[in-house]
C-alpha cells in the first residue's frame, strides 16, 4: 500500500513541478527558508578539544520531487516520512535528519549540523543544559550563557521560489550558518581523563556516585563525573527520576567516614602530638555512655599513628582526637577547606558541607564521632579530593578551579587571569609523614585493592554510616581518596558511591583503573 502511495504521490509531485517550471521564467524569483537549529558557542577542554558541538548529525534538504522522496524513503523514521510525504504533496520543501547518506541532485542536498551534546553525555553535569528557549539553566551553560550566546548562528536552508511561494526547479539549494562557532569557554577538564574516569565509574556498576580528579601542581580539575547521567537533549526524561540524575553529586555533601582521618592526624601532628602516640585497640571504647566499635571486632592491639591509619583503626583515632582537642581539629579542617564553598564559576558552586564548630564538640563522645568522620560532619567529593591534593603537594592548599579562559573568533585561547594563592596549611615535615602513612595504606592496609604494578599510589578508604536504612539494613557511603604516583604525585582522585558498601571493595579498584589509564595516556 505504501509503495502505491509513494508512486502516486511522486507522480503528482513531478506533474506539479513540471507545470510550475513552464511558468517560472516570467515570475520574479524569491527565496523560502527552513530553520534547522541555532548553534551556540563551544565548551572546550583544556586542550581545546570540544566538549559540546563535537558530534555531527546528517541532514537532507529536499525539494518536492519524486527523486527526492525516493532518496528519503528508508532513511528517516516512518512517522517522519509520512510528514515529508504530506509536505511534498502540498508542494513544500523539507529539511530532515537522515540516518544514512543520500545520492544528491539538484532536488536534494546533504549537509551536516553539529549536535549540542554528545551521545555519551561526557561531563554532562559540568556542562549543564538549556531550556526550551535555548538559554543556559545549569552548569557552564548557565554560568557563561551570555558568552556562549555571542557566537550563535542559525543553520538555515534556502530554496529559490517564485513570487507565489512555489519552489523553483533547477535552482541550487543553499545551506548557511552550519559552521560551528569557534567562540566559547575553555575548561580545565581533560577530555581523555574525563573519559577514563567515567568509564571506570560505569564499569564498577556505579548507580549514584561521583568521581573527581585534580591536578596536584595547579589545582585544576581534570575530571568531574556524577552518576546517574542525563540526556541534555531530553531533560524531561530525568525530571521525575527518583535517583535525581540532574544533580551533580561531586558538588553535594555526604557523610565521609574514615577519609577524614588524615585531617585528624594532621591536626594532631600540628598540635604537638607525637607520631609515636600509642593506643591499645580492644575492639570498642565507651565515652559518655556511648559505645564506639572498631571494624576489627577483636581489636588491633597496640598501634601508633602510622599503624592506625594503615589499618583504619577507629578507637585509636578516638583517643588521638581527644588528645588533640576539638579546637585544633576544627581549625585544621577549616584550613583544608571543610565547611567552605568551592566556587567553580558564578553558577557552579560546591556546597560547603557541614563542619561543626568546636563548641559543638563539647564531650568526648562528640569528639569521638568526628575523629573518624562521623556525626554531623559532611563534605563534598571535591573537598575530599582537594584535601588529598593538599597533603600530596607538601601541605600546601590551592583552591581547585574549573575555568581556564575563553576562545576568540579564531579559536585562540584567552586565559582568565587568576590569583593563585598558595597557603602552607600544615608543615612540609608533617605532610611528608602523612604521605608515608597513606602510601602504606595502599601497600599493606585497607587500600590494597588500589595497588597497581604500573604506578605507585597512596590513599584512604572509607565506609561511612549515613543514618539511613533500606530493607532493614543500614546504608553506607563508600569512598576512596588518594593520589598517584606516590613519590612524585601528579593527580589526586576521589571516588564516592552512595549505598556503595565498603570503600575498600567498591571504590579502591576504580581508583586503580583511573591511575593506570592516566599513566598509559601520559606515555
Q: How confident is residue 234, by pLDDT bands cut at 50, 70 and 90?
A: very high
- Ordered by start, the domain boundaries in the chain are 2-187, 191-231+251-522
CATH code: domain 2-187 is 3.90.1310.10
Of 392, 405, 325, which Cα lies nearest the Cα of 363? 325
Secondary structure (DSSP) of 165-181: SPBPTTSPPEEES-SPP
**pLDDT level of residue 506 (50, 70, 90 thresholds):** very high
Report, as an integer, the average pLDDT of 285-292: 95
Which range has the worst mean pLDDT, 148-152, 161-165, 366-370, 510-514? Answer: 161-165
Q: For residue 128, what are the contacts with CB-CB under 8 A and spacing of at least 6? A: 136, 137, 138, 139, 140, 141, 142, 143, 232, 348
Q: Which three cell numbers stand for residue 244?
A: 535525581
Spatial distance between the Cα atoms of 137 and 472, rounded to a whole number of angstroms: 39
Sequence-distant (6+) residues with CB within 8 A of 8 are none
Looking only at the bridges linking them, the beta strands covering 184-187 and 42-44 are parallel
Closest CA to 332 of 264, 285, 378, 236: 264
Cell 603537594 sits on residue: 393
Rounded to 10°, the helix 314-324/364-371 angle is 120
Residue 250 has pLDDT above 50, yes or no: yes
E strand or H helix at 334, and its extent? helix 326-335
pLDDT digits (tens, 9 = 90+) for 390-434: 999 999 999 999 999 999 988 899 988 777 789 999 999 999 999
Judged against a pLDDT cut of 80, whether residue 160 lies above it is answered with yes
- The b/e string for 239-260 (b: 16+ C-beta within 10 A; e otherwise) is eeeeeebbbbbbbbbbbbbbbb
**86-116: pLDDT as tens digits:** 999 999 999 999 999 999 999 999 999 999 9
Cβ–Cβ under 8 Å, residues 486 and 450? no
pLDDT of residue 29: 56
Residue 4, pLDDT > 50, answer no
pLDDT at position 215 is 98
Percent of the chain with pLDDT over 70: 94
What is the tens place of the pLDDT at every residue in 162-211? 877 788 877 889 999 999 999 999 999 999 999 999 999 999 999 999 99
Could you give the CA distance from residue 263 to residue 261 in angstroms, rounded to a whole number? Answer: 5
Is the confidence at residue 14, as pLDDT, over 70? Answer: no
- pLDDT > 50? residue 368: yes
Q: Are 482 and 388 in contact (CB under 8 A)?
A: yes
- Integer Cα distance of 381 and 338 in angstroms: 11
Which residue reads 609515636 in cell numbers? 276
Per-residue model confidence as pLDDT tens digits over 49-90: 999 999 999 999 999 999 999 999 999 999 999 999 999 999
* 188 vs 328: CA distance, rounded Å: 34
Angle, vertex CA 194, rays to CA 512 and CA 261, nearest 5: 50
State the chain's mean pLDDT as an integer.
Answer: 92
DSSP letter at 43 equals E
**How far is residue 54's CA from residue 59's CA, in Å, rounded to a whole number?**
16
Q: How many angstroms from the chain centroid is the CA of residue 410?
A: 27
Nearest to 342 by CA among 214, 249, 225, 251: 251
Q: What is the pLDDT of residue 18?
A: 34
User: How many Å apart are CA 490 and CA 392, to the nearest integer?
Assistant: 9
Given a contact cutoff of 8 angstroms between Cβ atoms, the answer to whether 321 and 367 are in contact is: yes
Contact criterion met (CB below 8 Å) for 258 and 460: yes
Stated as kind and residue range, the H or E segment containing 225 is strand 221-227
**pLDDT band at residue 523 under the 50/70/90 scheme:** confident
pLDDT at 164: 76
> Which residue, among 200, 243, 247, 296, has the nearest Cα to 494 in the 3D structure?
200
How is residue 314 written as a grid cell? 577507629
pLDDT of residue 6: 46
CATH number of 191-231+251-522: 3.40.710.10
The yes-or-no verdict on residue 7 having pLDDT over 70 is no
Question: What is the structure's pLDDT at 412?
Answer: 92
Residue 446's nearest CA partner among 427, 459, 455 is 459
Amino acid at each position: 500500500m505504501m509503495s502505491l502511495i509513494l508512486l502516486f504521490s511522486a507522480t503528482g509531485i513531478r506533474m506539479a513541478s513540471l507545470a510550475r517550471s513552464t511558468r517560472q521564467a516570467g515570475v520574479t524569483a524569491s527565496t523560502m527558508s527552513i530553520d534547522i537549529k541555532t548553534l551556540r558557542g563551544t565548551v572546550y577542554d583544556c586542550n581545546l578539544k570540544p566538549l559540546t558541538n563535537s558530534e555531527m548529525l546528517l541532514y537532507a534538504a529536499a525539494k518536492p520531487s519524486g527523486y527526492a522522496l525516493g532518496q528519503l524513503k528508508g532513511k528517516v523514521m516512518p512517522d517522519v516520512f509520512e510528514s515529508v510525504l504530506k509536505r511534498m504533496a502540498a508542494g513544500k520543501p523539507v529539511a530532515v535528519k537522515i540516518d544514512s547518506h543520500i545520492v544528491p541532485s539538484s532536488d536534494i542536498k546533504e549537509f551536516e549540523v553539529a549536535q549540542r551534546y554528545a551521545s555519551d553525555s561526557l561531563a554532562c553535569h559540568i556542562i549543564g543544559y538549556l531550556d526550551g528557549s535555548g538559554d543556559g539553566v545549569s552548569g557552564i551553560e548557565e554560568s557563561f550563557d551570555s558568552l556562549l550566546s555571542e557566537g550563535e548562528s542559525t543553520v538555515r536552508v534556502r530554496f529559490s521560489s517564485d513570487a507565489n511561494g512555489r519552489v523553483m526547479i533547477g535552482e541550487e539549494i543553499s545551506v548557511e550558518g552550519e559552521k560551528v562557532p569557534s567562540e566559547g569557554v575553555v575548561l580545565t577538564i581533560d577530555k581523555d581523563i574525563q573519559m577514563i574516569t567515567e568509564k571506570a565509574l560505569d564499569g564498577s556498576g556505579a548507580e549514584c556516585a561521583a568521581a573527581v580528579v585534580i591536578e596536584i601542581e595547579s589545582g585544576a580539575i581534570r575530571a568531574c563525573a556524577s552518576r546517574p547521567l542525563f540526556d541534555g537533549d531530553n531533560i524531561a526524561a530525568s525530571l521525575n527520576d527518583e535517583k535525581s540524575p540532574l544533580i551533580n553529586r561531586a558538588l553535594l555533601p555526604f557523610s565521609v567516614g574514615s577519609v577524614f582521618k588524615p585531617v585528624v592526624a594532621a591536626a594532631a601532628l600540628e598540635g604537638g602530638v607525637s607520631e609515636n602516640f600509642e593506643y591499645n585497640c580492644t575492639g570498642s571504647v565507651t565515652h559518655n555512655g556511648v559505645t564506639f566499635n572498631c571494624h576489627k571486632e577483636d581489636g588491633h592491639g597496640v598501634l601508633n599513628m602510622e599503624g592506625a591509619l594503615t589499618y583504619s583503626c577507629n578507637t585509636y583515632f578516638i583517643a588521638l582526637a581527644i588528645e588533640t582537642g576539638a579546637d585544633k581539629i576544627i581549625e585544621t579542617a577549616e584550613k583544608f577547606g571543610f565547611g567552605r564553598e568551592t566556587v567553580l564559576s558564578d553558577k557552579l558552586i560546591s556546597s560547603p558541607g557541614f563542619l561543626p564548630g568546636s563548641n559543638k564538640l563539647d564531650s568526648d563522645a562528640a569528639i569521638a564521632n568526628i575523629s573518624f568522620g562521623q556525626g554531623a560532619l559532611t563534605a563534598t567529593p571535591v573537598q575530599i579530593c582537594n584535601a588529598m591534593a593538599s597533603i600530596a603537594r607538601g601541605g600546601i592548599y590551592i583552591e581547585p578551579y574549573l575555568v581556564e579562559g575563553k576562545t576568540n573568533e579564531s579559536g585562540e585561547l584567552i586565559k582568565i587571569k587568576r590569583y593563585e594563592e598558595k597557603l602552607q596549611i600544615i608543615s612540609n615535615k608533617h605532610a611528608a609523614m602523612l604521605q608515608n602513612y597513606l602510601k602504606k595504606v595502599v601497600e599493606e592496609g585497607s587500600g590494597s585493592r588500589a595497588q597497581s604494578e604500573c604506578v605507585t599510589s597512596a590513599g584512604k578508604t572509607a565506609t561511612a554510616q549515613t543514618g539511613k536504612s533500606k530493607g532493614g539494613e543500614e546504608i553506607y557511603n563508600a569512598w576512596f581518596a588518594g593520589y598517584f604516583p606516590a613519590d612524585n604525585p601528579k593527580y589526586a582522585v576521589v571516588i564516592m558511591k552512595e549505598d556503595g558498601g565498603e570503600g575498600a571493595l567498591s571504590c579502591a579498584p576504580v581508583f586503580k583503573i583511573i591511575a593506570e589509564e592516566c599513566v598509559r595516556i601520559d606515555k
